[in-house]
Amino acid sequence: GLKLTFYSTLAGTLYVSYHLYRESNPPKQIPQSTAFANGLKKKELVILGTGWGAISLLKKLDTSLYNVTVVSPRSFFLFTPLLPSTPVGTIEMKSIVEPVRSIARRTPGEVHYIEAEALDIDPKARTVLVQSVSESEFFVSNVKYDYLVVSVGAKTTTFNIPGVYGNALFLKEIEDAQNIRMKLMKTIEQASSFPRNDPERKRLLTFVVVGGGPTGVEFAAELQDYVDQDLSKWMPDLSKEMSVILIEALPNILNMFDKTLIKYAEDLFARDRIDLQVNTAVKSVEPTYIHTLQSGQKASDIPYGMLVWATGNEPIELSKVLMGKVPEQTNKRGLLINDKLELLGAEDSVYAIGDCTAHTGFFPTAQVAHQEGEYLARTLDKKLEIEQLEWDMLNSTDETKVSRLQGEINLKKSKLDKFNYKHMGALAYIGSETAIADLHMGDSSYQLKGMFAFLFWKSAYLAMCLSIRNRILIAMDWTKVYFLGRDSSV
């Protein structure tokens, strides 16, 4: 037993050290160039975004085959599955980000990064209009492409409900988590300055989360954990007065999960004092309270001290611009693509992946964006192999060679397969060291819940991390919280 522990620890340490060394000492990259050694022009591949889709593509692609340029206003990848853990300090924000520069530097070919927002795409001229977001140079320019990958994600929808902007906080980006953390701390301190039983104190200590999808549920769970496990020690009286309300318009939360798991989560919320209000739709938001309809009837207003809004996705401005100018883009929920992830109306040069697309049949998740990014990397690698063969064929006068090359091209083209999504299941943290997992393997599905599912959730997310550095930092954060509690000071 002791020997086994020793050897497995040694193997683990060697594995981690080797990968850490490789991550921090990237090998030399092949520089960008106008053409390959055989004269074939090197194509410009422009990737918009640094999220799940874009980074999965970048990591998997042989970047020496194209002149790759990444355009995104966000200079880092964000590991969103653990974002709900950050506002209350279960996980530090630095632990779930990874600079795009270091990801790009670890690929075989040189990659250019432009810290800018894409404003418009001209599929005919094959250009993207970009606006720099770096403070020193705030200018607009055109970036030319041969192939473009649109992976710009989505934004949180408000359904144009009045008052959401200006009063509610969102949970999509790292700044959102920072804003929630600051508001949380400020509101608690503000509340403590009022005497007990003061209605203002009660209002300030009411935290409302709107949207019972996984974002709302995971954040409400983290918030209640913070109240029960940390605040209860340092502000015992005040913590008893705090309430977390989760509001969902439909009869159930977490509608993507199996019914048994939904019931389990709802029961746990009842036990953990999370006030779940289903069949309740928010109709308008005022600075200190929200108006709701309960089963279609007007319900009493709910005062709040902090409001977090998580009611799903809608397209960002760039996607809307593209939908407006490409006639084939008839769906207003997202960009339409074919089964090879090519954008309808610009199939020869534009791909779209991830949350910016109108998915049919599956939810807009990291899992989908990741698989799409990896599929596209394989496709682009294969496309270049075909172009190389076509180039050789064009420059050859030997008839036998030409017919051999033609055969090879036909074979490779036939192998350009469609994107085939493999759903592995869904996971969600629901508080008090419990999680739910709806796992899919082939045609079978398995449901896990409770403590075991929580351990599974932790291991799955560690495995999903894109770097060893992130894995180590996240594991350290969990250990730190276990022994020292959460540090949610601003």
Cα(134)–Cα(141) distance, integer angstroms: 14
DSSP three-state, residue 97: strand
What residue 242 binds from ligand FAD, ligand NAI, none (CB within 5 to 8 A, per partner kind)? none
State the binding partner of 54 from ligand NAI, ligand FAD, none, CB within 5 to 8 A by kind: ligand FAD
Residue at shortest CB range from ligand FAD? 51
Nearer to ligand FAD, 174 or 299 (CB): 174
Complex with ligand FAD: residue 341 or 389, whichever CB lies closer: 341
Question: Which residues contact ligand NAI by CB under 6 A?
Answer: 159, 161, 210-216, 218, 247-250, 255-256, 281-282, 310-313, 363-365, 426-428
Angstrom distances, CA of residue 69 to CA of 237, 238, 318, 345, 355: 55, 52, 18, 23, 21
* Shortest Å distance, C-beta 431 to ligand FAD: 15
Could you tell me the sign of the dihedral formed by the alpha carbons of 228, 229, 232, 235, in that order? negative
Q: Which residues bind ligand FAD (CB under 6 A)?
A: 48-54, 71-74, 80-81, 83-84, 117-118, 151-153, 171-172, 215, 316, 318, 354-356, 364-367, 369
Contact partner at residue 227 from ligand NAI, ligand FAD, none, CB < 5 to 8 Å by partner kind: none
Nearest to 49 by CA among 421, 410, 345, 353: 353
Q: Considering Cα of 109, then 115, then 121, then 126, what sign does the dihedral take?
A: negative
- Report the nearest approach of ligand NAI to the CB of residue 19 (Å): 26
Query: From the CB of 449, what's the least distance to ligand FAD, in Å?
Result: 16
Q: How far is the CB of 209 from ligand NAI (least distance, A)?
A: 10
Cα–Cα distance list, 351 to 118, 171, 335 (Å): 15, 27, 10
CA atoms within 13 A on the CB side of 82: 30
Residue number, 44 or 218, with CB nearest to ligand NAI: 218
**Strand, coil or helix: 132:** strand
Whether the Cβ atoms of residue 426 and residue 438 lie closer than 8 Å to each other: yes
- Minimum CB separation of residue 34 from ligand FAD in Å reads 25
b/e map of 8-41 (b: 16 or more CB within 10 Å)? Answer: eeeeeeeeeeeeeeebeeeeebeebeeeeeeebe
Q: Which does 151 bind (CB under 5 to 8 A by kind): ligand NAI, ligand FAD, none?
A: ligand FAD
Choose between 187 and 367: whose C-beta lies nearer to ligand FAD.
Answer: 367
Q: Assess contact for 179 and 334: CB atoms under 8 A.
A: no
Angstrom distance (rounded) from CA 234 to CA 213: 31
CB of 53 vs ligand FAD, minimal distance in Å: 3
Of the pair 137, 301, the CB lying nearest ligand NAI is at: 301
> Of 18 and 159, which CB lies nearer to ligand NAI in the complex structure?
159
